[in-house]
Amino acid sequence: MLKNSLLQLGLDEKEASIYLASLELGPCSIQDIAKKSGIKRSTIYGIISDLKTRGLFNETIKGKKRLFIASNPETLSSLIDRQRTLLDKILPELRGISNAELGKPKVRFYETLEEIRSAYIDSISGNDQEILSITSAESGLNFLGPEWIASYIRTRIERGIHIRAIIDSSPTSLQVFSTDKESLRQTKILPSNKHFVTDIEIYGNKVLITSFEKEHWAVVIESETISSMMKMVFAIMWDSLSTPHKK
């Protein structure tokens, strides 16, 4: 009964047998576990090593003997909690894959800084030759980091990917505009009373939206319909703005 329950919790046949044997024996040797579980000693070493990485086994030294201890049963509850946390994290991406099969937009969420940076790398990893950007240069620089931004731009230039950017007005924006030619970029700047707190990058059939302030997150929407609409919105904004004059 207990063994079947452990199998349902994700342990395999041998893992469950070894865990139960050790739990009943207390601190014990590999030989003791082999005798109790009926599993070969050579097999037990590898299985216990795997169980240790999952927090289900510990080992100690008593005198000259190496003893193994099954973790407290409450550890199983912690293991399930970790699995639940992992599942909650990947569910949006799994739903995105499922939606794509049904003809719906494919949506992926990113939360940590490294994950968000990886979303930007995706924008220069395909065959798209132009990125359309609506952004705050200053907020993006502060959030993503100047060194990382510089590396991203170098990679984009090396891959021959051009960018058209609509950015809000700030001292950083003027610096960005001054390096347009060598950066394969065209920039238009919003009036000084307008300020963006998010970034929108449009490339291919994808739209990347990033929140730079307060709540930091990013989402990539893969949809021909949505990307086409966002390209139209960008075109309307672009045509309504004049190109700044270099001083």
For 96-147, give the DSSP string.
Answer: HHHHHHTTSPEEEEE-SHHHHHHHHHHHTSSS--EEEEEE-HHHHHHHH-HH
Contact 29, 68 (CB under 8 A): yes
The pLDDT assigned to 86 comes to 80
How far is residue 67's CA from residue 59's CA, in Å, rounded to a whole number?
Answer: 6
- Most distant CA atoms of the chain, gap in Å: 85
How far is residue 50's CA from residue 54's CA, in Å, rounded to a whole number?
Answer: 7
Question: CA 236, 180, 168, 203 torsion: positive or negative?
Answer: positive
Average pLDDT over residues 55-59: 89
Tell me which amino acid residue 76 is: L
**Tens digit of each residue's pLDDT (9 = 90 or more) over 154-204:** 999 999 999 999 998 887 777 888 889 999 999 998 887 777 888 999 999
Note the CATH architecture for domain 2-71. Answer: Orthogonal Bundle (1.10)
How far is residue 209's CA from residue 213's CA, in Å, rounded to a whole number?
Answer: 13
Tokens of 87: 């599942």
Q: What angle do CA 26, 27, 28 make, to 5 degrees?
A: 105
Using DSSP's 3-state secondary structure scheme, residue 28 falls into: strand
The pLDDT assigned to 244 comes to 67
- Domain positions in the chain are 2-71, 105-240
The pLDDT assigned to 98 comes to 63
Q: In terms of Cα–Cα distance, which of 149, 223, 206, 215 is closest to 179?
A: 149
How far is residue 229's CA from residue 232's CA, in Å, rounded to a whole number?
Answer: 5
**Tens digit of each residue's pLDDT (9 = 90 or more) over 72-126:** 888 888 878 878 888 777 776 676 666 555 567 888 889 899 999 999 999 998 8
Contact 120, 152 (CB under 8 A): yes
- Residues 6 or more apart whose CB falls under 8 angstroms from that of 48 comprise 18, 30, 33, 57, 59, 68
Q: At what angle do helices 171-178 and 137-144 cross, to 10 degrees?
A: 90
How far is residue 83's CA from residue 4's CA, in Å, rounded to a whole number?
Answer: 19
Q: Which CATH number does the domain 105-240 belong to among 3.40.50.300, 3.30.870.10, 3.40.50.150, 1.10.3720.10?
A: 3.30.870.10
**Tens digit of each residue's pLDDT (9 = 90 or more) over 192-225:** 777 788 899 999 999 999 998 778 899 999 999 9
